[in-house]
Amino acid sequence: MRIFHLLTARHGATLLKATLLWLFCFSSAWAATTASVDRNPVAIDETFLLTISSDEAGFFDSSPDFSALNHQFNILSTSQQTSSVNGDTTRSWSLTLSPKTQGKVSIPAIEVADQKTQPIVMNILSVKQAPRGGSSNSNNQLYVEASADQNTVYKGAEFIYTVRVYASIQLARGSELNQPDFADATVKELDNNQFQKRINGVAYTILERRYAVFPQSTGELEIAPAVLKARVPYGRSSVFGQSQVRTVTRRSEMTTVNVIDPPESFQGANWLPASQLTLQQQWSKDPKQLMVGDSITRTIQQQASGLIAIQLAPIQEPKIDGLKFYADKPKLEDSATATGSVATRSDSYAIIATRAGSFTLPAIDISWWNTSSNRLEHATLPATTVVVAANPDQAITTIAPTAPNNNLQAPAPTSIRGDTPPPAQQTGTTLWQISTGLFALLWLATLAYCFKLRRPPSSMATTPPSNKADANEKDAYAELKSACDNNDARQAESTLLSWGKTFYPGASISSVSDILLASQSEPLKHAWQQLQNNIYRDDSTTWQGDSLLSAIDNCRNATSKNEEELASLYPR
């Protein structure tokens, strides 16, 4: 019996130890904390999913510290999930990461409560090392390419930068392609295209975005990689037909373009590197069939391929005695074609002939550099002759009575009865009296007609101007005066046309040139040219509105004085 108790005690102790060891091992296995990635290796322009799971969810509340990952990776998103099966709770975290460097990169151990995950060594490939097209690897299903159509360009010349996104999978809503950073360059987005293409037997949807780039400084122009943040489906669809979506990042390689100075052989006033430049002109009517007082509009259009409109210089109007020039607002337009940007600039000015004669407008020559043939070229317009004839409607003809001709002899009438004809002196006197009376009647008729022309119609003499029209003019003048007082050039430009339409209601005012024609005011013309120079010719000085306002006031005062004089001449 004693031996039995001894054996029982010995075996009981052994059994207890075995039971405790089994419970410890089971507990260790049950409380496992793990880290895993969805794929390895990955490319530098890709993202991958890191999942950390722990069965210790019931023993802690706070989330793990993931800050150690920031040394080698970008944390793009983090999500958390908790599940419970038969009373066993599991907590997991999913992190979308993108690598910062290439080569062998380690994901450090992450501490969860009192346990740590095992480190994971990631193999990060370069963009060139990563395979492209025709395989099931997700890196081939979605990638980005960027390129420039030229390796070396002149400063200010155009090159085309193209970004393409290749996708053999469906992208979810919310995917974004960043705007490239071109540093010191002017950029115009040309177009966005989408088309299909098969690569190694795999169908791809290609999203293409093109930019016209005009570098503004010489040296190496480095264009940062294009970055796509795409939302792509993964895993199985839910019972509602919706797939899980994750964010992935794709990058192109950096693009470098060498920018050089203009060639020394170019001696033009304005550096214009273009693949084509043309110069054309249009006239509102035949410039060789004008009369004094006529107005004609000349429009000169520059069009250049491979430039933007702000690079085209204005065409200066000439100064010619006998012709007055009134410049209108230039029109600038940029358009996109399959080959790049096309710039158009139109300069228009009205010409008023002030005297008769033949006038020669000088030839126009624009030097530009042909980037296709790499040589200097010229766009020209030949000299143009403007012929102005006297205006008969403006000539003042005075009809004066003609002195009598005492020597005027009338043929002697044939006497039927053989009477002696009257003396010659008596016949001349009779004709003189008839001529004098006739000319006197004509002179009186002329005076009466001129008096009728000078006298305004009764409606003009008796009907005062419309109160509504007068109020509109005052409102327009107040806006114009405010713009001039504030030295606001842009506002003055727009309000001047509004004022002119109300101040000259009888004239057809559609542009400032029409206002200048109606006013015939040299101060107003000079003030308008100063305003245009400040706005459109890169005048860095602050525009002063006092000269324009003074010219407007002179026009208003002159009109008021004329109305008072008419009122005194033709009282009601």
DSSP per position, 14-48: HHHHHHHHHHHHHHHHHT-EEEEES-SSEETT--E
Residues 93 and 36 in one domain: yes
Residues 249 and 285 in one domain: no
Q: What is the pLDDT of residue 395?
A: 56
Least confident of 76-85, 159-168, 356-365, 393-402: 393-402
Residues 242 and 173 in one domain: yes
Has residue 487 got a pLDDT over 50? yes
Q: What is the pLDDT of residue 561?
A: 57
Q: What is the pLDDT of residue 181?
A: 83
Of the three residues 95, 125, 155, the one that is the final residue of a domain is 125
> Does the residue 186 lie in any domain?
yes
Of the three residues 382, 416, 449, the one that is the final residue of a domain is 449
Has residue 231 got a pLDDT over 60? yes
Residues 110 and 148 in one domain: no
Average pLDDT of span 152-173: 93
> Does the residue 539 lie in any domain?
yes
pLDDT tens figures, 433-479: 565 666 666 666 665 655 555 444 433 333 344 555 677 888 899 99
Residues 558 and 482 in one domain: yes
> Does the residue 43 lie in any domain?
yes
> Does the residue 495 lie in any domain?
yes
Q: Tokens 């004089």, residue?
A: 565
Residues 286 and 350 in one domain: yes
Considering only residues 91 and 304, tell me which one the structure prediction assigns the higher pLDDT: 304
Residues 251 and 143 in one domain: yes
Residue range(s) defining the domain that contains residue 119: 31-125
- Which phi and psi (to 5°) does residue 451 adopt? -65, -35
> Does the residue 371 lie in any domain?
yes
Residues 157 and 212 in one domain: yes
> Does the residue 74 lie in any domain?
yes
Q: What is the pLDDT of residue 107?
A: 94
Least confident of 5-19, 118-132, 253-267, 437-451: 5-19
Average pLDDT of span 126-151: 72
Give 567's pLDDT tier (boundaries 50, 70, 90): low
Tokens describing residue 373: 């043939």
Measured CA angle at 273 (ends 267, 275), to 5 deg: 130
The partner residues of 349 in beta bridges, in order of sequence, read: 298, 327
pLDDT tens figures, 268-326: 889 999 999 999 999 999 999 999 989 999 999 999 999 999 999 999 889 999 999 99
> Does the residue 209 lie in any domain?
yes
Has residue 4 got a pLDDT over 90? no
Residues 471 and 555 in one domain: yes
Q: 3-class DSSP state for residue 175?
A: coil
CATH number, domain with residue 314: 2.60.40
Residues 144 and 245 in one domain: yes
Has residue 65 got a pLDDT over 60? yes
Q: Are 356 and 389 in contact (CB under 8 A)?
A: yes
pLDDT tens figures, 9-21: 444 555 445 544 4
> Does the residue 223 lie in any domain?
yes
Residues 244 and 149 in one domain: yes
Residues 281 and 388 in one domain: yes
Before 41, cis peptide (omega within 30)?
yes
Of the three residues 99, 125, 151, the one that is the final residue of a domain is 125
Count up the domains in the chain and report the number: 5
pLDDT tens figures, 334-390: 998 888 999 999 999 999 999 999 999 999 999 999 999 999 999 999 999 999 999
Q: What is the pLDDT of residue 84?
A: 73
